[in-house]
Chains A and B, each alone.
Chain A
Amino acid sequence: MKSIGARLALWYAAASTVTLACLFLVGYYLLRGYLIHGLDLLNQSEFEQIKARLGPDYSALSSAVIDQRIRETTEYASVLFYIDIHSRDTGTIFYSSNLKGRPIPDIKGARRYDVDWDVGPLRVGEFIMAPYDVAIATPEAQVEGVMEGYAGVCAALLILMLAMSAAIGLGLSRLALRPVRLIRATASRIGSENLSERIPVPAVADEISDLARLLNAMFDRLEASFKNVRRFAADASHELKTPLSLVRLHAEKLLAGGTLNHENEEGMQTLLEELTRVNSTIDELLFLSRAESRSITLELAPHDPADILANFNVDAQVLAEHHGVHFPYSHEGSGQALCEPRWVRRVLLNLLSNAINASPPGGNIRLRSRLTGELWRVEIEDEGAGVPSSEYEHIFDRFVRLKSKDRQRLEGSGLGLAICRGIIELHKGRILAETGSNGRALRVVFEIPAQPPPPRAPSLTPDELAPATSR
């Protein structure tokens, strides 16, 4: 069972029902013993009555007198009692008529015992009235009847108990698990945007509040490390970029002064170009560290991928034409993807640049985009030499440069694909590399969650659509 609440309720119901069943069992034996004891007392009082009827000089009476006296005393109770009086020397003195001439079975050494008779179980009491032994038996049928009733009532109560304790257990476990649900709700709410939120800790010191405190301590550490990353990014920005500004402004000043010879001017220009590259590498690294610590929040909103792609295509065609490759693209499906278009555009541009670098002259770079109900999937495939499939996992790591085998050159800072992954993950999507359709080239695929299109308004018939005047 998945829910702890249900399991607890089940355990609770089982434990309370079994306990009650044990109590009922003990009660059964106690009650039966008590009722049997009652039968013994009945036998005893019957014996006392017989003894009183026979008088103190019973040993002198003849057997016929004894028989007659006892019958007078006991015949009215013949259904209730079986009486058997016998002497060890002379044998049977008296049988009650309901015994129909058969003796009550004797168990040697026992004074009170149960026997199974053809009329049902009997409770027998043996009494001494020297020189006679008197055996008096009472049917146990009534006791058995009471016990059957008792068992029936108990069974009904047990079923009721099971149902009630299951219901109570469910209620109790919900009550007991409420702090846990609160913890879960809070913990799932805490994200990079509200890291300072904490789980409310109940005033009492129990296991749940311990857990809450433990989780809060974990969130403290998490928040501290997030803050560290953010502070590092801010510090690194400031400490690196202010001196870079100085270097840049100085170099520009020297260039603008016009006092440099040609060679120095070249050198200074190279320095400016390198400075730009260093700066963009710093920006990219900072972006990655922020993205990995989730301290960037994108404004994800529904946008139509068709618009994003059309806008991108304008520039993509120009880039492709310039580099002598073809860029056919297709898009199917309607609806909206949850994204921030300028970041998606950056991913598309990065992937296109990579594909252009890998493509042979005149090659095709195909972009296939498809929007289904819940996913926007984009594939970009080139006709280059591809990447060994063992590298597919690593090409999205930092500083991994894709070597294009055709031209044997290295491109970019080696952060492009890492940034693509960072951006796609911020969109709650995923990006991966595959082998292209020719079994060789590289295909990069990314997927971003989409919003299903809103339910269409009930379609109108052509009649309804036609303006009223045309009728």
Chain B
Amino acid sequence: MKILIVEDERKLGLLLKQGLSEAAYGVTLAATCAAARDALCETSFDAIVLDLGLPDGDGLELLRQWRRSGFNEPVIILSARDAVQDRIKGLDFGADDYLPKPFSLQELLARLRSLLRRQASVKDTVLEHRGMRLDLVGRTLHFNGQPVDLTNREFALLEIFMQNPGRILPRTLICEKVWSSPYDVDANLLDVYMSKLRSRLETGGDKPLFKTVRGVGYKLQ
């Protein structure tokens, strides 16, 4: 999997490159619009991570040019601009996802995976993990063969975890998927739902089902 990172802040770019390399992605780093254009002409990428404020132009403009000239690689925008309008504008210009700064590496990885999976368009309709069987079409959960009643929110929450077993899921990402708004984090709504989910599904065994990763999010183990 090859990723192009377009980021002018050198330290941040290097750190991202290192982090993604450790996650077994092949990474090319471009610091300017021109360098990004060159890189994209030379070789093809599976995904592009694009910072908006670049020294020789605006990332959004670059994205628009790409989309116009037929490049359809998935693009994640990194930006310090978190205004909703900027987010919407980015998505309108053809970005596939929008990640506000400061972000966690886990969050970037989770979003990249989700993008690449979407790209592969392989989606299981039944997810299984540690005795749980989640049927996305029938919207049912069986735990050790027994049906478990879940509310819609609980189901949506569990679905995200079941699609990313063993991976840290950042809070903002979860909230965005379940409530389509990253702001609910403030109300600790996520923690309340997690504790409900835990009380339903955790049997007090050796290894808890959900691990809290402080300052980042949760992980289904």
Instruction: State whether B80 touches A242 (Cβ < 8 A).
Output: yes
Instruction: State whether B81 touches A245 (Cβ < 8 A).
Output: no
Q: With a CB–CB cut-off of 8 A, which chain A residues contact B105?
A: 249, 252-253, 256
Q: Which of B64-72, B136-144, B186-194 contacts A (4 or more CB under 8 A)?
A: B186-194
Q: How far does the alpha carbon of A279 sit from the alpha carbon of B170 in the complex, in Å? A: 15
Band of interface residues on A: 35 or more
Say whether B104 faces chain A, with CB atoms less than 8 Å apart.
yes
Instruction: State whether A253 touches B15 (Cβ < 8 A).
Output: yes
Among B16, B152, B192, the most chain A Cβ lie within 10 Å of the Cβ of B192
Closest to A413 in B: B186
Q: How close is B103's CB to chain A, nearest CB, in angstroms?
A: 6
Known: A241-B101, A272-B216. A319 touches B192 (CB 8 A): yes
Q: How far does the alpha carbon of A269 sit from the alpha carbon of B85 in the complex, in Å? A: 32
Say whether B181 faces chain A, with CB atoms less than 8 Å apart.
yes
Say whether B215 faces chain A, with CB atoms less than 8 Å apart.
yes
Q: Which of A159-167, A184-192, A341-349 contacts B (4 or more CB under 8 A)?
A: A341-349
Q: With a CB–CB cut-off of 8 A, which chain A residues contact B102?
A: 241-242, 244-245, 247-248, 275, 279
Known: A315-B153, A315-B189. A245 touches B12 (CB 8 A): yes
Instruction: State whether B192 touches A237 (Cβ < 8 A).
Output: no
Q: How far does the alpha carbon of A352 sit from the alpha carbon of B80 in the complex, in Å? A: 30
Instruction: State whether A352 touches B187 (Cβ < 8 A).
Output: yes
Q: How close is A72's CB to chain B, nearest CB, in angstroms?
A: 115
Q: How far does the alpha carbon of A412 sit from the alpha carbon of B100 in the complex, in Å? A: 22
Within 8 A of A (CB), among B110-153: 151-153
Say whether A465 faces chain B, with CB atoms less than 8 Å apart.
no
Q: How close is B12's CB to chain A, nearest CB, in angstroms?
A: 6
Say whether B21 faces chain A, with CB atoms less than 8 Å apart.
no
Say whether B180 faces chain A, with CB atoms less than 8 Å apart.
yes
Interface residues in chain B, defined as those with a beta carbon under 8 Å from any beta carbon in chain A: 9, 11-12, 15-16, 18-19, 53, 80-85, 100-106, 151-153, 171, 179-181, 183-189, 192-193, 195-196, 214-216
Beyond A241-B102, A245-B12, A315-B179, 7 additional contacts (C-beta under 8 Å) are: A238-B80, A244-B101, A249-B16, A280-B185, A296-B83, A296-B84, A314-B152
Q: What are 13 A-B contacts defined by CB distance under 8 Å? A: A234-B80, A237-B101, A238-B80, A242-B80, A246-B9, A248-B104, A249-B16, A276-B215, A322-B195, A346-B181, A349-B184, A350-B187, A416-B186
